[in-house]
Structure 1
């Protein structure tokens, strides 16, 4: 972040300054952090009020506070009507002050992977500000923008949502030159009511665009017409896995197994040979989407090729690692929905050896919960994939199918049984771990890593 004075922010935030002016060099919403010359933002939620922890923030180094009521403290305070709104205003002010040129990405699946691919490409020639971790909601996006400084030439921002209106808000802060909707499927459906609700929420990324901006969406998808209409009056281009009528697509796709794929990338700016080091055909489409974004943000075809080739790991997302000479692990534990589980099963189905899907329950599926878990179980079993599941949403389905032994009450029990099975195998094994955030399937990944590293029981 660049240095800003409190006086400078009075007008931008419609704030009252209580105390003396000073310079802030960072912004924080977390009282657990050590803060250096920081502005602490006292957010208020349904179950918390950070105003109650303002003194703790000061003890950790906060130089000033952004509050919605004057507090009895000794540091300067910017008093505003709503600290959450003011956080967004502050982020927008900084983005405009730096004139940071941004692109934005959303979608039901793959948005983080596309963000990482786009960042890897653009980093070949630019200083890039990119979303870190899961900072993609109405708090995370402003905090991501507030990391910007004079060195950053481009921004790559991931926008997520669990309710209508969230993306409309965050895209208004980012003001992207190029916006991409990677796909639309049943994800967080409980918060949106239906898949149509998901589509409406994702389309908010396009409805905020104007004549000078570009919208990118998947060609010949079931929702293309809806998104094309939502993007008007912006310019529209389309990407596809392999449809030659799209603006961006791949051909000559050759799988490298768990090591990814090589292909020919076709774009309006020319063609090039490319390789992506993440397994699964869906990651070829993610690479095409990232190339479309990056090229429209100023990258060259050579930078696309170099950036994709250099990206080999995205934490928690199809992250391949070797546990020993015969057991490989794919950590895809970050999140899950029906479409991403199908992609995971496709990867396993193409592996020549013993395949194991370690599945955490899918959250926020609403009335579809039972059906999507039943479909997943049936497809895994029909594909001759060993299934180990965790989460209550699997229990009823497994009981109906006479497969209750495939469900586990704890990560530890699941892991112990899995390791026992793996040690009995005499052929290569591939274990893929996946689940919604609420199931914390990364714990299974960590326990497997620890077991094979130390040779001790999980």
Structure 2
């Protein structure tokens, strides 16, 4: 973060300063972390009020507070009406002060992978500020922007949402030069009510774009016409897996199995031979999307090739690793919805050997919960994939087809039975672990890694 004075922030945030001005070097909202010369922002939520922990923040090194009410503490305080909105104002102020040119990405699937690919490409020629981890909501996006310093030339921001209006808010802070909606599918249905609700929420990324900005979306998707209309008067571009009528697309796609894919990228800037190290055809489309973003942010075609070739693993997202000479693990545990599970099954279906899908239940699916889990079970079993499921949403489906033994309510028991099955195999095995965040399927990944690394029982 750049250094800022409290006097400067008083004007930027329309705040009242209690105490003397001083220079802050960082921002924090978490009293669990050490903070040096930091402004602690006391956020207020439905179930918490960080004003109650301001003393702890001071003990951790905070030298000033951003609060909604004056506290009886001997440090300077900036008083505002709403600390959450003030956090956003502060982030927007820093972005404008640095004149940071940004691109923004959202979508139901693959947005983090596209963000990592875009960052890898742009980093070939620029200093890039990129979203870390899951800092993509109305708190995370401002905190991501506040990490910017004078050395950063470009920003790559991922925007997520679980309710209407969230992306409209965060995109107003980012003000992207280029905005990309990777796809729209059934995700967070419970929060949005329907897939049309999801589409409306994602389209907020395009809703405030001006004539000098660029909107990118998937060509000939069921939602392209709607998004094109929402994006106007912005410039509009389209990407596709392999449709030659799109502005950006792939041809001569060659699967390299779990090692990734090779293809020819077609763009208005020319063509390039691309190799990616992430498995699955869906990652070819993600790479095309990242190339479209990057080229419009100033990258050259050779930097697209170099960046994508250098990107190796994205934690929790189709992360391939060998557990031993016969067992390979794909850690795709970060999150899940029906479309991303279908992509995972496609990877397994193309593997020559014994296939295992370790599936955590999909959350926030609302009235579609039973149907999407039924579809997943049927597709996995029809594809001759050994299924091990975790979570109550699978129970009713499995009971109805007489396969309740495929469901588990314990990560440990699931892992024990899986390892027993793996140890009994004499052919190559591929294990893919996937599930919504609420199912904590990363625990299965860690237990498998521990077992094969140390030879211990799971």
After superposition, where does 1:13-32 map in structure 2 within 5 Å?
13-32=13-32
Structure 2 counterparts to residues 108-123 of structure 1, below 5 A? 108-123=108-123
- Superposition pairs for residues 104-253 of structure 1, below 5 Å? 104-253=104-253
Q: 1:191 and 1:342 mapped to 2: Cα distance?
A: 22
Separation of aligned partners in 2, 1:327 and 1:314: 20
SS in 2 for 1:205: coil
The residue correspondences of 1:386-425 to structure 2 (distance < 5 A) are: 386-425=386-425
**In the TM superposition, what is the alpha-carbon distance from 1:12 to its structure 2 partner?**
1.0
> Partners of 2:75 and 2:353 in 1: how far apart?
63
Distance, in Å, in 2 between the alignment partners of 1:30 and 1:292 is 36
Deviation at 1:73, TM superposition (A): 0.5
SS at match of 1:415: helix
CA RMSD of aligned residues (A): 0.3
Structure 1 segments (4+ residues) deviating >2 Å: none
Q: Which residue of 2 aligns with 1:334?
A: 334
Task: Note the C-alpha offset of 1:390.
Answer: 0.3
Q: Distance in 1 between matches of 2:441 and 2:13?
A: 41
Give the secondary structure class of the aligned counterpart of 1:216: strand
Partner of 1:68: 68
The whole-number CA distance in structure 1 between the counterparts of 2:6 and 2:225 is 47
User: Unpaired segments of 5 or more residues in structure 2?
Assistant: none
1:307 aligns with 2:313: no
Matches within 5 A, 1:340-351: 340-351=340-351
Partner residue of 2:376? 376
Residues 81-101 of structure 1: CA deviation (Å, up to 9, x unaligned): 000000000000000000000
Counterpart for residue 434 of structure 1? 434
Query: C-alpha displacement at 1:409, in angstroms?
Result: 1.1
2:259 aligned partner: 259
- The CA deviation at 1:11 is 1.4
Summarize the alignment of residues 317-332 of structure 1 with structure 2, pairs less than 5 Å apart.
317-332=317-332
Question: Could you tell me how far 1:5 is from its partner in structure 2?
Answer: 0.2
Rounded to whole Å, the distance in 2 between the matches of 1:271 and 1:25 is 45
1:208 Cα shift? Answer: 1.2
Report the TM-score when normalising by structure 2. 1.00
Q: CA deviation at 1:395?
A: 0.5
* 1:264 counterpart SS class: strand
CA–CA distance in 1 between the matches of 2:161 and 2:401?
34
User: Matches of 2:397 and 2:64 in 1, distance apart?
Assistant: 53
Provide the aligned length of Structure 1 versus Structure 2: 458
| TM-score (structure 1 length as normaliser) | 1.00
Unaligned runs of 5+ in 1: none
Pairing 1:54-65 to 2, within 5 Å after superposition: 54-65=54-65
**Matches of 1:51 and 1:417 in 2, distance apart?**
48
> Equivalents in 2 of 1:323, 1:36: separation in Å?
41
Question: How much has 1:117 moved relative to structure 2?
Answer: 0.1
CA deviation profile, 1:127-177 (whole Å, cap 9, x unmatched)? 000000000000000000000000000000000000000000000000000
1:303 is paired with a residue whose SS is helix
